[in-house]
Structure 1
Amino acid sequence: MTSSTRRIVQVACAVIWCLFAAGPIFGFAALKPVLVSEGVYSEYCTKSVTGGPCKEQDLRLNFMFNVGAILTNVDAMLVGFVLDKYGPRVSGIVGSVVIFVAALVLSNAALLPGDPWLIGYSLLAVGGPFVFISSFHLSNTFVQYSGTILALLTGAFDASSAVFLGFQISYKNSAITLSQLFTIYTIVPVFILLAEVFIMPQTSYKSDESFASVVSTSAGHMEAEEQALLEDADLTSYTGRRSSFISNRGSFNRRRSSLVHEAPTPQSLAQYGSLKGLTAKQQLATHWAFLIIVFTTIQMLRINYFVATINSQYTYLLGHEKAQQINAVFDYLLPLGGVLAIPMIGFVLDHMSLVGSWTTVVTLSLTMGVLNLIARPWAAYLNVLLFVLYRPLYYTAVSDYAAKIFGFKTFGTVYGVVICIAGLFNILQSVLDRLTKKTFHLNPTPINGILVGATAIAGLALVGYIKSQGQNLKRQFLEIEAEASEPMLMPGAAPVPGVTTTHDPLHGETEISFNDPNQTKKAAKKDGDDCGSGHCKNCVCDV
């Protein structure tokens, strides 16, 4: 097959396996009723409860999901290491093996000792990132559609929660058991393994690592020369090109030399919107990394907390019957949202500046938070609708941010660390769950209010920093242009003493020479203008 066709097939394979294996554990809201029906963790109940799990069983099931969510994110750092060191093929193969083992454990949970549900769910959570993150580089198969391809992959990730929705529908409407469903699921890791061996590339597709979106924050459309600077993030190449237009000597030359040869620092590189020249450790020490880690931690905690507790939250706010209806709508919209959000994500990432896209993300997040505080059915349904669209947008925006700011050379490591740190803090989800159920007597409003406030602080700080860096970038460009531009005389102005300009019409170049005043020849004296005559003005007398 042709190169273009092969790349299309590779993207299609990645979308298919992400659809079934990238994040099925996040369909927990749909799987939970099936687990309750199967009596999973019912031994923790001290008395019979109708209409749902008992409090301790519910906490135990939520803990299982919480562990899976944490491992999914902590695992991202390990995935990043494997991806950077061994490439996407090895990463995908490792993921397929782990997912296969997870499916076997879950299909035989009734026969295994200990806590096979927690072990199997955890393995399923670990395998997902290996096959998901390793597919990000495929956004470079067609660079002009990179945002759309990322949206497809992330949309498939979100839609993968439909796997457990399919389990729920099959379980309720047929004689098939949960064990049989997980046995059938082993087909998925086998497909991934075969695709990695025979179709997928061994090494990652590379990109130009363009940071044009950072500049468009405040500088607008740049000239081609300025765009080249952004793409290369290299002042030396830029000033080298400019020197073909201007050749000079003296102090002007020395000033430009200092500009060209000055060693870049992490701060100066960040001001120009590119951290690709730094090591992963240096990149993680910048404000770019710190702010995205803080915001990601808060958002991940909010997202996973809502997925695990949506039923109990709306049971308190709107009653059991209405909560069941909202939960059912959520189960269907969550996987569908990943698909519906693809056009929106493609537009936001491909056609908006970095500050514009993140302003959109923060605004949506705050809107959802406010709606979650309103105990009205219309607010609940609108919140669910925004949530299922926001989730894929947010995760895609984080990976897009990491690719644009840090570059693909260190993408696996840096992105992995960001997601890992955020995942570790997700242990707080169990704390929030217990606070809601025991301290606030099932009232979710206090916890949700705290999370909205934290989102506002972290989100505004992130957007403000991106905007300020865009303004710094524009100012730096103006300074570079001022340093590199040709000095020009105003019409009718007298020549500047000590400066000689020579224009070459053939090559369109102007040479500027700065003459040493100490070597300037003395002006010839007119007759009678000697020092003794008293007629000369500003004359220089020989001693």
Structure 2
Amino acid sequence: MSGVENSLKVRRCLTFATGLVECLCFAGAVFGWASLVFVLKTEGYFGSLCVNTTGVNGTQVLDCSGQDEQFSLVFTIASFMNNFLTLPNGFLFDRFGTRVARLFGTFLYTMGTLMVAFATPALSNLLFPALSLLAVGGILFLMTNMQVGNLFGSHRSTIITLYNGAFDSSSALFLVIKLLQESGISLRTSFLFLSACSVIHLFRTFFLLPKKFIPYPLPDHYTYGITCGKSKSLTLEQTTANGDTQRMTEETPLDKDFPVKQEKSFRECVLSRFFLWHLLWLSVMQLRHYLFIGTLNPMLQRLTLGEPSLVSQYTNAFAITQLCGVLCAPWNGLIMDRHKGKPRAAGESEQESDLRASVLSLFLTALQCVLFSVCATTPYLPLQYLTFILQVLNRSFLYGGNAAFISVAFPSCHFGKLYGLVMALSAVFSVLQYPCFALVKGALDGDPLYVNIGLTLLSLLAFIHPLSVYLHCRRLSSQRAKIKASS
């Protein structure tokens, strides 16, 4: 039996490590857009939209605002698709399981990399479907990997946030492509290599992840994936026969002394106060990040007065800080898991304990966003180094905290659908980034100050969510105290 236990432990560790690599190297590459734009501009994509105009002193200058607007539109559509299509992807995941969802995601991601590889300045419009496919395929990798946290019990939230941090850090992939292009390796070669890496995704799909789902809490001797030979743990027939039982196990409390309560329906979850405030919390902060990433290149052009070497320097600095997302995200998970292993208050359920622990995480994320937005609003070039640091810290907390909160606040049988729905609805809100960009380029004559101030004030709405969760926990605590006093 010890041999079987060791084999299961090795497989779980390998699943965790390879999942981290997959999220870190592939899943969120589309958010390294600022680095890829620099490469695409040097190669002349949408270059026909640059026109000669007369400057204030009568000299001829090249106006590339039309080119910038097209690049912004590419990223707006890709980021919208990344979030909005998470809803049908969530239903796909909950209905058909991990293997089908990952095969679909691998197909989309491979098609996206091939489209970028064979795009040319004459076929610049290929970037629109290509970046969207990369975004949707990448979010499917993340969604199917987050269940790996179920394999590690008390560290569940830490692993979920770690994977989300790795997703953020993968935006540095386009920095690597930028540096390779500067050293002589073509954009086509880099993206053909990424296409070939789909073999890694297929290997993990069949050998290191389950066909359906990883249950929580985890049954004894639970195994998954295609195995060679016979196993003394759960066989394929047992797993299939007990599939419904495992799904029920996911909803069973760890404390057997308490009766199993009826779980909320999907509709009840969506109409709950928690879901609505959580949606607002995510939407306002996500809009701030999307507009910042989508307008970073024009902002640096303005602050550096168009000096190419300085633009490249700050673009590289931004991309390098994105690598730190995987280091920042676990802090949020540790905040949410800090109560694990400690005795709970009398009568307090595990879910209530998890919610109470999430308040600090939600509050810190909102505070980070306000600080990041204030720095991004200040038109002082050296300050942007601090902006980059706060941006990657807040982004890591935001997406890791989003997934972790949904996993603790709602039944896990609805996780894929709720995660998909909140991302889809927040995507609709994030479309506002394009009119904001058009407003800056048009009526505000390139000065984003007023738009940035407005977004900073809008970010203050994110504090409503942690306040709501805190008041809910206080109310439950007060009710328990009254019941105890009356008894």
Short-chain TM bin: 0.7 to 0.9
Match of 2:52 in 1: 47
The match for 1:366 among 341, 349, 370 is 370
- The answer to whether the 8 A contact 2:161-2:403 is kept is no
Q: Tell whether the 8 Å contact from 1:100 to 1:190 is kept in structure 2 after alignment.
A: no
Contact kept, 8 Å, 2:27 with 2:138, in 1: the verdict is yes
CA gap of 1:53–1:134, structure 2 versus 1, over 3 A, is farther
Classify 1:155/1:482 alpha carbon distance in 2 versus 1 (closer, same or farther; 3 Å). same
- Report the structure, 1 or 2, having the larger helix content: 2
Cα displacement (A) at 1:324: 4.9
Aligned residue runs from structure 1 range 265-344, under 5 A? 277-317=263-303, 319-321=305-307, 324-334=312-322, 336-344=323-331
Task: State the identity as a percent.
Answer: 24
**Number of aligned residue pairs:** 426
**1:477 maps onto 2:464 in alignment:** no
Query: Aligned to 2:409, which of 402, 405, 412?
Result: 405
SS of equivalent to 2:120: helix
Q: What's the counterpart of residue 93 of structure 2?
A: 83
1:195 equivalent in alignment to 2:207: no
After superposition, the Cα gap between the structure-2 partners of 1:114 and 1:55, relative to the gap in structure 1 and judged at 3 Å, is closer
Change (3 A) 1:178 1:377: closer
Question: CA separation in 2, counterparts of 1:51 and 1:402?
Answer: 51
Indicate conservation of the 8 Å contact 1:311/1:324, yes or no.
Answer: no
Q: Which amino acid aligns with 2:30?
A: I
Cα 1:68–1:51 shift into 2, 3 Å: farther
Structure 2 equivalent of residue 11 of structure 1: 16
CA distance in 2 between partners of 1:372 and 1:349 (Å):
28
Distance 1:180 1:53, change over 3 A: farther
Tell me which residue corresponds to 2:338: 351
Aligned position for 1:171? 181
Residue type at the aligned position of 1:287: R
Query: Deviations for 1:450-482, whole angstroms, at most 9, x for unmatched residues?
Result: 1111111x2221121011101111012123324
CA distance in 2, matches of 1:361, 1:376: 24
> What is the CA–CA distance in structure 1 between the aligned matches of 2:121 and 2:319, rounded to whole Å?
30
CA apart distance, 1:111: 10
| Map of 2:162 onto structure 1 | 152
Give the letter aligned to residue 409 of structure 2. Answer: I
- Is contact 1:17–1:188 with CA below 8 Å preserved after alignment? no
Q: Tell me which residue corresponds to 2:241.
A: none
- Aligned residue for 1:461? 464
Q: What CA distance in whole angstroms lies between the structure 1 residues aligned with 2:447 and 2:98?
A: 45
Asked if the contact 2:333/2:400 (under 8 Å) is kept, the reply is no
Q: In 1, Cα distance between the equivalents of 2:107 and 2:466? A: 40
Counterpart of 1:207 (choices 198, 208, 216) is 216
Separation in 1, partners of 2:198, 2:53: 39
Offset of residue 380 of structure 1: 2.2
The letter of the residue matching 1:76 is T
Answer whether contact 1:80 1:413 (CA < 8 A) is retained.
yes
The aligned amino acid for 1:14 is G
Which amino acid in the other structure matches residue 296 of structure 1?
A: L
Larger Rg: 1
- 5 Å-filtered alignment, 1:59-138, equals 59-110=69-120, 115-138=125-148
How far the C-alpha of 1:232 sits from its partner, in A, is 4.2
Ranges in structure 2 where 5+ consecutive residues have no aligned partner:
1-5, 55-59, 219-250, 340-356
Report the aligned-residue RMSD: 2.7
Which of 172, 181, 185 is the aligned partner of 2:194?
Answer: 185
- After TM superposition, give the deviation of residue 203 of structure 1 in Å: 2.5
TM-score where L is the length of structure 1:
0.73
The answer (yes or no) to whether the contact 1:74–1:421 under 8 Å persists in 2 is yes
* Residues in 2 aligned to 1:199 and 1:374: alpha-carbon distance in whole angstroms: 47
Q: Indicate yes or no: 2:151 matched with 1:141.
A: yes
Classify 1:54/1:111 alpha carbon distance in 2 versus 1 (closer, same or farther; 3 Å).
Answer: closer
TM-score calculated relative to the size of structure 2: 0.81
**Equivalents in 2 of 1:52, 1:346: separation in Å?**
48
Unpaired runs of at least 5, structure 1: 210-229, 242-263, 265-275, 486-543
Matching of residue 417 in structure 1 with residue 421 in structure 2:
yes
Displacement of 1:51 = 10
Q: Which amino acid aligns with 1:171?
A: Q
Q: 1:96·1:190 contact (CA, 8 Å) conserved in 2?
A: no
Q: Give, in angstroms, the shift of residue 378 of structure 1.
A: 4.7
Between the aligned partners of 2:117 and 2:173, the Cα distance in structure 1 is 15
Quote how far apart the aligned CAs of 1:410 are.
Answer: 0.2
1:192 partner letter: H
> In 1, Cα distance between the equivalents of 2:416 and 2:131?
24
Q: Deviations over 1:228-253 (max 9, x none)?
A: xx98499x975x79xxxxxxxxxxxx
CA distance in 1, matches of 2:145, 2:267: 24
Counterparts of 1:52 and 1:66, CA distance in 2: 25
Letter in 2 for 1:364: Q
- Structure 2 SS opposite 1:409: helix
Which residue of the partner structure matches residue 510 of structure 1?
A: none
Q: CA deviation at 1:429?
A: 1.1
